[in-house]
Chain A
Amino acid sequence: KAGVTQTPRYLIKTRGQQVTLSCSPISGHRSVSWYQQTPGQGLQFLFEYFSETQRNKGNFPGRFSGRQFSNSRSEMNVSTLELGDSALYLCASSSAGALQETQYFGPGTRLLVL
């Protein structure tokens, strides 16, 4: 099976712009979660989508949003970018998002906000 893929791998934006990141889960996986990784904060949970519905949400402002399509592909959008949004954004997929399931991570999208 192909792994989790994320596009683009690298992105440079300026403050105030918006950005959309894409994640394609492993075939058959219906749960997609998004994480932000920064040097100071480590990995932080953004939100989880399952069957096109946001099922769980972390403590991020409303500028961070996402959606999931019927083929389980997911997009994450960040509006009004701030310098502090510079980070590695990871998505992870699992079959159903159950507690004991392993999440499989993509390589991430590295976002730099200037």
Chain B
Amino acid sequence: DQQVKQNSPSLSVQEGRISILNCDYTNSMFDYFLWYKKYPAEGPTFLISISSIKDKNEDGRFTVFLNKSAKHLSLHIVPSQPGDSAVYFCAARSPLNNDMRFGAGTRLTVKP
């Protein structure tokens, strides 16, 4: 069961513009959300996280927004750089069993 969904398999943006990656979840028990970035032949690397008690968390060029009522989170990258080209996974953790569920990923391509 896909409790975490990333409906856009790919996204292409121009260097310097904003990249917006979206993620939806169905389980209201999730209360901690993370974004990971993955380059080919490497494991995912942690990017940014947000607790459900917040609606926004910012770290440099990366900002994650959480809309609990819509069960939706998004990752904004401003300005986008070619080095940001990777697959981005959103993930949600349940406090009940420490289970982490991932979305299928969105491949971001930033064109110079």
Contact = CB atoms under 8 A, between A and B. Distances in A.
Residue among A42, A55, A106 with the highest chain B CB neighbour number at 10 A: A42
Contacts of B34: 102
Contacts of B43: 4, 90, 92, 105-108
Interface stretch (B60-68, B77-85, B101-109): B101-109
Nearest to A88: B43
Contacts of B45: 105
A45 interface: yes
B107 to A, nearest CB: 12
Contacts of A41: 104
A74 to B, nearest CB: 15
A99 B99 contact: no
Contacts of B95: 99
A58 B49 CA distance: 22
B86 to A, nearest CB: 13
B46 to A, nearest CB: 5
Contact of A43 (B32, B46, B51, B102): B102
B49 A102 contact: yes
Contacts of A106: 43
27 contacts: A33-B100, A40-B104, A41-B104, A42-B102, A42-B104, A42-B105, A43-B44, A43-B89, A43-B91, A45-B100, A45-B101, A45-B102, A56-B97, A56-B98, A56-B99, A58-B99, A92-B43, A99-B32, A99-B98, A100-B32, A102-B46, A102-B49, A104-B46, A105-B44, A105-B45, A106-B43, A107-B43
Interface of B: 31-32, 34, 36, 41-46, 49, 51, 89, 91, 93, 95, 97-105
Interface of A: 4, 33, 35, 40-45, 48, 55-56, 58, 90, 92, 97, 99-100, 102-108
